[in-house]
Amino acid sequence: MHDASPSTLLNYVYDFRVFFNWLLSEQIIELKPIKDISFSDLENLKKKDVENFIRFLKLQQNMQNSSVNRKISALKSLFKYLTSLSENEDGECYFYRNVMAKIEIHKDKETLNARAKRMRSKIFHNNDDQEFLNYVKYEHEKSLTKHQLFYFLRDKDRDVAILSLFLGSGIRVSELADLRMEDINLKERLIDVIRKGNKEDSVWITPIALNDIEKYMEIRDNKYAPGKELKNVFLSKYKHTAQPLSVRAIQDIVEKYTKAYGKKRFWCKDFIYSKEVYRFLMESILMQPFRIVDE
């Protein structure tokens, strides 16, 4: 919890106050100022007390499940700290009975397409995803040196197809890396992927993504010369030998373009480009959490 950002810690404090005020109003603990709530008060809470608090949030506060989960997660962090990570002057935790450990967080099940839409909405609005692709197709090369331009043009169709497929299907980076030629049905605009637990699924792709993939597949064999045995869709060439693109390599491709696009779009007097915006760009495309490593 101590590693959280200042804004996150501030939200935690608000969540704690909501919980403590509710405990006092329901007389679950003796009426007193919040600052006087003791560790023994928290140690003696029952599971039923927390379950009633959750009902209060849902029924009386009309909170969505995601908001309730955030508050419970904050309380779980607090109780974990007090019962296992803290240390008083005697070298002991402040107390040991953690009622929050008995509380499960029930996350809403979300389809892949719904998650893709939610993630993209954080940073891509209206036609912004198409603007991003247009930037890669038509503008990015204008900022490159001759040396950089050579490598960009060499892999441009492949990179555009990768970005377009991410935005036009919502598949994850590992699923894209594992795509094989037989997994793509251009006629039906479907791709077959393997989900967690080795479950097979078919994902619909947008017409724009379809066009970009078709353009890449037209030049794939001549440009990368994979041979009949190499069926991976997305390839690189190293020492004149075709190789499947790894998950790390695909992440690097996405990172390169999102960083360039983010700087172009967000370095202005009205909006300071930040790591948080950059992270949203990465997550909205890769469809998975992305950790920024400081250079």
Q: Is the predicted pLDDT of residue 241 greater than 70, yes or no?
A: yes
Across the range 235-258, mean pLDDT stands at 90
Instruction: Looking at mean pLDDT, say which of 56-70, 75-89, 173-187, 208-222 comes out highest.
Output: 208-222
Report which of 4, 154, 160 is spatially closest to residue 80, judged by C-alpha positions: 4
Q: Give the span between the Cα atoms of 166 and 188, in whole angstroms.
A: 18
Question: Minimum mean pLDDT among 27-41, 93-107, 279-293: which range?
Answer: 279-293
Across the range 86-108, mean pLDDT stands at 88
Q: Is 142 exposed, middle or buried (0-12, 13-18, 19+ CB in 10 A)?
A: exposed
The two tokens of residue 198 are 């080795």
The two tokens of residue 30 are 């003796």
**For residues 247 and 179, is the Cβ–Cβ distance under 8 A?**
no
Domain 112-286 class in CATH? mainly alpha
Q: Is the predicted pLDDT of residue 20 greater than 60, yes or no?
A: yes
Across the range 72-79, mean pLDDT stands at 92
For the chain, the domains span 6-102, 112-286
**For residues 171 and 112, is the Cβ–Cβ distance under 8 A?**
yes
Instruction: Kindly indicate the confidence band of residue 196, based on its pLDDT and cuts at 50, 70 and 90.
Output: low
Percent of the chain scoring above 70 in pLDDT:
77
Across the range 75-100, mean pLDDT stands at 91
Q: Which run of H or of E encompasses 80?
A: helix 65-80
The two tokens of residue 196 are 């967690």
Report which of 163, 283, 253 is spatially closest to residue 212, judged by C-alpha positions: 163
34: Cβ contacts below 8 Å, ≥ 6 apart: 17, 20, 21, 24
221: Cβ contacts below 8 Å, ≥ 6 apart: none
Crossing angle (nearest 10°) for helices 247-266 and 275-286: 130
The 190-194 sheet, strands edge to edge = 184-185, 190-194, 200-204
